[in-house]
Amino acid sequence: MAETSDPTVNVDDEAARAGWLYYSGGLTQDQIAAELGVSRQRAQRLVAKAMSDGLIRVRIEHPITECLELERALCRRFGLAFCRVAPSLSEGIDPVRAIAPVAAAEMEKIFARRDPKVIALGTGRTLRAVVDEVRPMDCPHHKVVSLLGNVAPDGSASFYEVIMRIADKTRAPHYPMAMPVVAKDAADRAHYHALPHVRNTRDLAQQADFTIVGIGQMTDDAPLVVDGFLSVEELRAMTDAGAVGEMVGWAFDAEGRYLETGVNKVVTGVQVPQNDTPVICIAAGPSKRKPLLGALAGKLITGLVTDEITARFLLKQTA
């Protein structure tokens, strides 16, 4: 077939249409080519682009047996109340792409509850990807609250803040933590915590019905370092003290014990867990293995969303 070339057609629009026809419409690539007036090879490329660029998102509603078995094993092994394991993607593909749709579906279940809930959220790349997958919902009876500050060291808004995004998706009242992620010193932190709006937001976060967080590694690619909240020297001091991971900026060791030094003296956010609030951690990939093992050892989390590869790794570790 001769391929048409319409300069007014946006390539992303064309790819999204091709992806929709393939995944939602059930058309073959030959049928898509005929529908769009392009060659079969171009139809194939457009469908691939739709997936690789995230223009089309596919959710598997039917649970895969192996994933179910891994979920049960993780719950038994680590005493988790909740676990979801997503099918792993091919090597070299960001595992967040596998777990984000699964985690989004679980987040939607929380927001679908009719009784009012307070939902506390961390921040970061993984949670941002999850929130981007959440379908629009109308949930003005819930409240969403941030667990940590939303201001970077230079005064700019944190790029991976998710509270505004989820509020936009759900229409829920939202309570950002209007202060820096890390204070200059302990006195500076005390000053922020004394501010009425910060005190009210922290109180709300500490009373949350659900807490959803990511987890950070304490290696050279640590989110706290990459995003400018921690210097390389400060990172080294924390790892020398035993830090293997962090949640909401709070660093912990391999036994899941929060350290009493370094960044933990100046981080401004709310430490989790709080009271008996369920803490759901969303994480997968090699860099998250040590942090997850530490968090599981210390019972810092009660729920986990991960992928098959990470799940198998966790289960292989000695009890």
pTM: 0.83
Averaged pLDDT in 10-residue chunks for the chain of 319 residues: 50 83 81 89 90 74 82 96 89 88 95 97 94 95 94 74 94 94 92 95 96 96 88 93 96 96 93 94 97 97 96 87
CA distance 64 to 77: 20
Structure tokens at 303: 């729920």
DSSP 111: H
pLDDT at 5: 46
**For 267, phi and psi rounded to 5 degrees?**
-65, 140
What are the residues whose beta carbons fall under 8 Å from the beta carbon of 267, sequence distance 6 or more? 148, 181, 182, 183, 189, 248, 249, 250
CA atoms within 13 A on the CB side of 240: 8
Distance (Å, whole) CA 21 – CA 118: 39
Q: What is the pLDDT of residue 99?
A: 94
Q: How far is CA 80 from the centre of its chain?
A: 18
- CA dist 121 and 113 (Å) reads 17
Domains and CATH numbers, the chain: 11-52 (1.10.10), 65-316 (3.40.50.1360)
What is the side-by-side order of every strand in the sheet holding 210-213? 82-86, 303-307, 279-282, 210-213, 118-121, 143-151, 174-180
Closest of 102, 176, 103, 168 to residue 140, by C-alpha: 168
Helices (H), 241-288: none
Backbone angles phi, psi at 44, to 5 degrees: -65, -45
In sequence order, what are the residues at sequence separation of 6 or more whose Cβ sits closer than 8 angstroms to the Cβ of residue 135? 104, 108, 169
Residue for token pair 């699964």: 102
Phi, psi of 301 (to 5 degrees): -125, 150
DSSP labels for 47-109? HHHHHHTTSS-----SPPHHHHHHHHHHHHHHT-SEEEEEPP--TTS-THHHHHHHHHHHHHH
Helices then strands (H, E): number in the chain? Answer: 13, 10
Question: Omega into 273 within 30° of 0, i.e. cis?
Answer: yes
d(CA 207, CA 230): 28
Nearest to 112 by CA among 174, 169, 176: 169
The answer to whether 246 touches 177, Cβ cutoff 8 Å, is no
